[in-house]
Amino acid sequence: MEHPRIDPGNDHEPWQKRPGESEPAYAAFLAFRDAGPARTVLGLGKSLAKTRQLLDGWCQKHHWRARCAAWDAHLQRAADTSKIKRTRQMIEQHGQGAVLLRNLALRAMQPQPLVDKDGFPVLDRNGGAVMKPPTLRDLGGAAAAMSQAIHHERLAAGLPTDVRQQDVVLHDTIATMNGMMADLVAIIESQLCPECRLKIADRIDEIARQRAAIAAEIV
């Protein structure tokens, strides 16, 4: 809605002082304008201690009601613009939080360097870092976090959030995990001694079964 122009040749906003409008008349208009949508000439007369006849004359001569309608519309547009800006900022922040959660979930699904009690990385006989597979708890928590992250990320982007849409990403994640675990097993078999391989073989099998169970739950 465009601001109504009271005078076609006037470039000022309708609520600004009009040519020929006296200072007392304009001051009364400002009080009338700022009284809000419930404004009345009768109420203004009581607050300013002026006669209704005087105020009615100013109101008609200087188009108070049309000017106030323009003012009210101006305030509403400003409020709407501010609300839209705040909403967009909120959606952007929610999307950023969802991306961060998704990245953390992916990281929790990956093998991490094994460290000793002093916090130093454990190295194999070739000087490479020994990688620790994610635990069952890590995998279960990461899968739940991934599901929530995908839901909120898609919601913030205005995309569908139904379960089947999420399952596509989760299945891809499980497939990636399987590939990473296969690489990890190859490293273990090539770099660790037979005794060490036996110690962790059962653990790796247990993790593989947990991955399979997680994949089955999202089918």
Return averaged pLDDT per consecutive 10 residues of the chain, 219 residues in all: 42 88 96 94 95 95 94 92 87 84 81 83 83 77 80 75 56 62 63 66 66 58
Q: What are phi and psi of 149, to 5 degrees?
A: -65, -45
14 phi-psi bin (left φ>0, alpha ψ -120 to 50, beta other): alpha
pLDDT score for 30:
96
pLDDT score for 91:
83
pLDDT score for 84:
87
For 39-145, strand residue ranges (E) read 112-113, 131-132
pTM of the model: 0.49
